[in-house]
Amino acid sequence: MEYTNAWLNYKTVDHIRFPFDTICMESGGTVMERAADELVLAAEKLAKTALCRIADIAEMGRRSSCPGKNTIFLGIPKKRGERPADAGAFRIRMEESGLHIQGGDESGVLYGVFELIRLMQTASPNLAKLWSGKLAIEKSPSNPLRMLNHWDNLDGSIERGYAGSSFFFADDRIIVSERTRAYARLAASVGINAVVINNVNVKNAATRLITEQYFPELDALARIFGAYGIRLYLSLNFAAPMELGGLDTCDPLDRKVQAFWKKKMHEVYAAVPELGGFLVKADSEGRPGPFTYGRNHADGANMLAEAVAPYGGRIIWRCFVYNCSQDWRDRKTDRARAGYDNFMPLDGKFADNVILQIKNGPMDFQVREQVAPLFSGLRATNQMLEVQAAQEYTGQQRHLCYLIPMWKEVLGFKTYAGGADGATADTVADIVSGRLYGQKNCGMAAVANTGADENWTGHDLAAANFYGFGRLAFDTELSAEEIAREWIACTYGNNAEIMRILLPMLTESWQIYESYTSPLGIGWMVNPSHHYGPNVDGYEYDRWGTYHRSDCLGMGVDRTKKGTGYTAQYNEPNASMYENMETCPEELLLFFHHVPYRYRLKSGKTLIQHIYDSHFEGAMKAQAMLERFEELKELLEPEVFERIRARLKHQSDHSKEWRDRVNTYYYRISGIPDEKGRTIY
């Protein structure tokens, strides 16, 4: 399948001044080579300039064809004090000799080059300031790890994949292709430095990824990624000692099991030395784990951590551990509590090379969830934030839902881990960056939304979530709007009309999607299993712990002290804020409280009227997005226009289905009519 270069297509930009003719590489290395390639390509496409490439300063004097005046120098300063301090950090500044792009390491140089290219793609006024020496740019990544988790299976399918099949696997084989390189280039351009290629649900052939059958291709992939500063990671099957090693147990404290893993890791790292480590889903949704043997998750994670430590490997251990065989009649067991209940008692017990990966919310990537309380609690454990770019519950890349505003809110959430007086910088961003507790093994991961579709993400506009995740993980200070602006300009060329239409579509889309699906934090209400489309009771009488508890008087789950007690997992003053219906943020009201339909919200509306209004307005806005988009017919390539238009049309129709199903359900159950007399069935 053909594929586009997405935001790296280097489309025309308005005339930009690019006063250089030479690149000088002050130091070598594969990543530096890629950086130089990229600069040459961008200069040619964006500024119609052929850059002459020379190996070092001595060569500059020898070559008459390269005047050497207008030179861009790529390098890593030899002296420590002159070098950007962090891995991936860079500096761009004009000096007497020319423009210098200097990195803390090779990746830093690559990121610096992509930063410069982005300024060119967006025709930024900062270019002129850079050239004149009035501006120097210095950036250091906010998060040490900036990772994409692919849920690709070896048969080529992708769990929760909405953009075609896998481009890593087919028929139990690993694919090593030019597309992998194109993907690595896209990922590196936004600062991604780690990629897990296989699904966290490791079964069948995927269990054998750590056997010699797959080593040569894994090594080839690791090298392709390595050339772009990206580490390859794999998901691991905790039951491998039994399934591969023929043992009768996977008990992490059993010596035979420990020996199995040590030997296994020795083999794996001998064949794939650049492997970053492993991601593990254990004791979750049917996956094996330490609980079977009466052990805890620190026992499980530390055993693996010890086996990979000699090779500098990391174990990323997921906290998505809950009882998925709950009885819906039981109102005390609360899935939202599970992450904290399982992992908080283990704080401080994990090895240094273990990182706990925590989903942004306590449930599962709903359109809105409050921030998982584990971030507020853990103080002596490496933590990573996990978000989902794949739009499992947010429209499956058929609806437009730009997720960066949601992730910004998560990062900005104040945990009060530093004390109830609020004096300490203790947001989720402060924690996962490692700033608050001085940690180095931490960062952000996103479940990837890519596949083998030509446009990478099924919905062309969903590529903004891929782009945006990387940009945000690299620089958590960027705003959702800045990121959207960049993405639009880089992808579609720097055109004011395209920006005028697409920018508000992107930035408003999350709230629009929320308003016609499940406002006020209620969540779920989707068809079971595939999770697409409205079904209010789809999960209500099921075993998954995902209930709305609607009855004839009200709706929502009581998670206060009188209910499941979940609110107490937060630090003060958050705990009290959520506990009290009057102070609970309204967008999360139904997550924390069972609320009567006639309860008045701050707007003065009753709860039931809000539900009706939100669904009617949301569906209208989805239709308005389609109409707004039609104005771009002449400005986008016909194929691109048609692809996006078809999805927006589906979204508009489907939003009406959502509206009518949800409103009808609540009208029938409450018997309260819509004050505005609109049609409810």
Tell me which residues touch ligand GCV (CB under 6 A): 151, 159-160, 199-201, 281, 285, 320, 364
What pairing do the DSSP bridges indicate for beta strands 231-236 and 194-196?
parallel
Residue 200 or 483 with smaller CB distance to ligand GCV: 200
Q: Give the integer Cα–Cα distance in Å for 226 and 30.
A: 8
Shortest distance, CB of residue 160 to ligand GCV, whole angstroms?
Answer: 5
Written as one letter, the residue type at 262 is K
Catalytic residue among 38, 386, 392, 460: 392
Residue 227 or 387 with smaller CB distance to ligand GCV: 387
Bond before 310 cis per omega within 30 degrees: no
Question: Catalytic residue at 392?
Answer: yes
Shortest distance, CB of residue 364 to ligand GCV, whole angstroms?
Answer: 5
Residue 193 or 235 with smaller CB distance to ligand GCV: 235
Q: Give the integer Cα–Cα distance in Å for 281 and 261.
A: 17
Q: Give the integer Cα–Cα distance in Å for 102 and 111.
A: 10
Residue 13 or 200 with smaller CB distance to ligand GCV: 200
What pairing do the DSSP bridges indicate for beta strands 169-170 and 173-174?
antiparallel
Residue 27 or 201 with smaller CB distance to ligand GCV: 201
Phi first, then psi: give them for residue 666, nearest 5 degrees.
-75, -30
Phi first, then psi: give them for residue 133, nearest 5 degrees.
85, 5
3-state secondary structure of 562: coil
Question: Catalytic residue at 486?
Answer: no
The tokens of 132 are what? 């004149």
3-state secondary structure of 571: coil
Shortest distance, CB of residue 104 to ligand GCV, whole angstroms?
Answer: 33
Residue 25 or 234 with smaller CB distance to ligand GCV: 234
473 class by beta-carbon count within 10 Å (0-12 exposed, 13-18 middle, 19+ buried): buried
Catalytic residue among 106, 152, 219, 364: 364
The tokens of 292 are what? 């079977």
Phi first, then psi: give them for residue 589, nearest 5 degrees.
-55, -45
- For 116-161, the DSSP string reads HHHHHHTT-THHHHHHHTS--EEE--S-SEEEEE--B-TTS-BTT-
The tokens of 470 are what? 């990387």
Question: Catalytic residue at 219?
Answer: no
177 vs 163, 221, 223, 480, 664, CA distance in Å? 18, 9, 12, 33, 50
Catalytic residue among 138, 212, 267, 285: 285
Mark out the alpha helices in 442-495 (DSSP H runs): 463-474, 480-492
Shortest distance, CB of residue 220 to ligand GCV, whole angstroms?
Answer: 26
Shortest distance, CB of residue 529 to ligand GCV, whole angstroms?
Answer: 9
Residue 92 or 195 with smaller CB distance to ligand GCV: 195
The tokens of 406 are what? 């949601």
Shortest distance, CB of residue 650 to ligand GCV, whole angstroms?
Answer: 22
- What contacts 421, CB < 8 A, 6 or more positions away? none
On whether the CB atoms of residues 68 and 60 are closer than 8 A, the answer is yes
Residue 159 or 347 with smaller CB distance to ligand GCV: 159
3-state secondary structure of 357: strand
Shortest distance, CB of residue 393 to ligand GCV, whole angstroms?
Answer: 8
Shortest distance, CB of residue 544 to ligand GCV, whole angstroms?
Answer: 8
Please tell me what DSSP assigns to residue 91.
Answer: E
Name the residues annotated as catalytic. Answer: 285, 364, 392
